[in-house]
Amino acid sequence: MSRFDVRYGYTRELKGISFDEAVQRTTEALKTEGFGVLTTIDVKETLKKKTGADFRRYVILGACNPALAHRALTAELGVGLLLPCNVTVFDSDDGQPVVQVVKPKAMFEVVNKPGLEPIVEEVDQRLQRVLEKI
């Protein structure tokens, strides 16, 4: 159990590696599960630029598995509002990287369409394996 656990995501705290290495490992682990990173948002940089606020290192990776996204969009066109799957990497208070991946089951509770259940389950399993691999 992690102090960063949230009901809508899976969390893994990493010890002994740098922030940049955590981002790299996460990106590579996503690739092994068929996900590409479509977007990278540097939250620290964006907040500094837009508001002048200082914030910890924090990136949001927009991950997408094209085959699964296609299946989901075919079953429910509006599901694009929930894509891509977000993965965050951030520094904890003690400077150690933390990786969180969204829980697809939590996200898709709002859709509640039976045809999406097997897709959501597959995405969920793949994202859990991503955390295991980093």
Task: Identify the CATH number of the domain in which residue 128 sits.
Answer: 3.30.310.70
With bands split at pLDDT 50, 70 and 90, how would you rate the model's confidence at 1?
confident
Give me the chain's average pLDDT, please: 95
Enclosing domain of residue 27: 9-133
Q: Is residue 111 part of a domain?
A: yes
| Cα–Cα distance measured from residue 2 to residue 55, given in angstroms and rounded to the nearest whole number | 21
* Strand residues in 21-96 grouped as ranges (E): 36-42, 58-64, 85-91
What pLDDT is recorded for position 70? 97
Which CB contacts under 8 angstroms, 24+ apart, belong to 46-53?
none
Q: Is residue 57 part of a domain?
A: yes
What strand order describes the sheet that includes 85-91?
9-13, 97-102, 85-91, 58-64, 36-42
The conformational region for residue 117 under phi > 0 = left, psi -120 to 50 = alpha, else beta, is alpha
> For residue 27, how many other CB atoms are within 10 A of its CB?
19
What pLDDT is recorded for position 18? 97
Per-residue model confidence as pLDDT tens digits over 2-22? 789 999 999 999 999 999 999
What pLDDT is recorded for position 79? 94
Q: Of 58, 45, 133, whose CA–CA distance to 95 is shortest?
A: 58
The total domain count for the chain is 1
Q: Is residue 4 part of a domain?
A: no
With bands split at pLDDT 50, 70 and 90, how would you rate the model's confidence at 120?
very high
Per-residue model confidence as pLDDT tens digits over 52-71? 999 999 999 999 999 999 99
Question: The whole model's pTM is what?
Answer: 0.93
Per-residue model confidence as pLDDT tens digits over 20-47? 999 999 999 999 999 999 999 999 999 9
Q: Is residue 1 part of a domain?
A: no
Q: Is residue 2 part of a domain?
A: no
What is the rounded average pLDDT of the residues 83-94? 96
